[in-house]
A and B are shown apart, each in its own frame.
Chain A
């Protein structure tokens, strides 16, 4: 299985516990299960340690963040750090939202059309075109960043959100194309397309009548994937925008950088900026995993 195969099916596979569990209940298996459980709990603590410290620190007063008290619960709980972080980050949050939503939708639509053609309406050289698109996923953006700025300036694209939407749409096309191509290749039988063609349906008709209605889970996957990566992007933000028109990652870097860092506010800020993607992850985690699987080719 190439990692790229799996969208929804991998998400389903991951949840499938093997039916046969072999021998149960003899002493050694029970002991090994206890050991496994203890190990899992230790790893759980390891992963959650940063979370604990972020949450408690974000509710502390500035006198309370001394070295000795770092791992203790707040002496007095305060929401001041949250208020401070929110005041700074609010405009960035709004910009990130107006940026990530359209960028995710546009790239997904283009990806869907491309994926359909590459999976089910192939033409001579389609594989070459696929490789040509796929490579775009892996490039370090540093290699295009300098002339990209020049190009956007020459095209007179409005600075800030519009520039970033354009950039994320263009460089998001490869991953969305890949996800949809694999999705259609597993979900839609070739015969359906062929019989539609025999009936004289053209590409647009086939796409609208047969493909689009079954594309919903594909769209959920790409939308989540794109939204998360656009929301979390820092590199494009740093190269293409400034503090006065940049997204939330830039705002957080500003909030927690500089000489005199307000730790409590930084931690509250880290939580605030992570909130939308975490929410998406909690509500739609099933598809999130699907996107990760499909995006296995990407970083």
Chain B
């Protein structure tokens, strides 16, 4: 099997699954119970939380565990707007955001959305952003790495700009960057990421919420792991996330170099094929290479590749029923390009051999 859909999800790694199983079997107490068994679970949860906090350079009470990045995005956006009813109802975002951001904003209803202008490559135009910031929106929400093309936004510089406006918070969706690129949360107030993108389990994610931000919970009813999300915490999932994050960060450098080499190899090889347009910029995240083969339907190509046990995606898995990629349209490419795009996304487990096979099948059967 050649799995090149790692931005949709990654397979769980054995060490992480082992932790999940061991904790599920041996830590049976509810961390809210005050007897020994509860205390044991609580202690593990506390250590796991501290580990996550220290890996991301935040404080333990700033870590909120959720079920998915989508939930984290919902909690960040809805939570802030509900906590500050008297501040402006404006929000800045981009047209490239994930559905769990754009649809959440729509769901709030009474907010005025200001789309940050982008330069020709898709980066947020900082001068234009600064002008929008003068309207003092309550929140700016921008993804770190785009899930379709790998476009990287400069969250450091954006964050520094936003810091000049004390009534504006900065939310970053880091789902496609944690475990892949260096993360610095100095200027970030709220930060989303999910374990299954770096060989953790599905069903566990995080929202980092700095102490300076107020937030209303989406799920009320207690404060066992955090005041911002009620429900009996899954200690096994939480421990598994802490471990997956540690391993990913320990290997991050090696993984990055490995994936960068793969990306460059594929990019170079495909650029000799005239039918192929490469949509990702050279400086985008090497974990994603987005290409288009004009005139071909992505669904057909995916199934053709699947017949050879090769797995890639159209646009993001979460919106693959949409007719074409709105991100690619927004990135001022043509609808033709957007309609025929494939996303190839790498991980540490891929090899150059995988890519040779992919290129061979593309040439022989698709082009």
Do A and B come from the same complex?
A: no
Residues of B within 8 A of A (CB): none
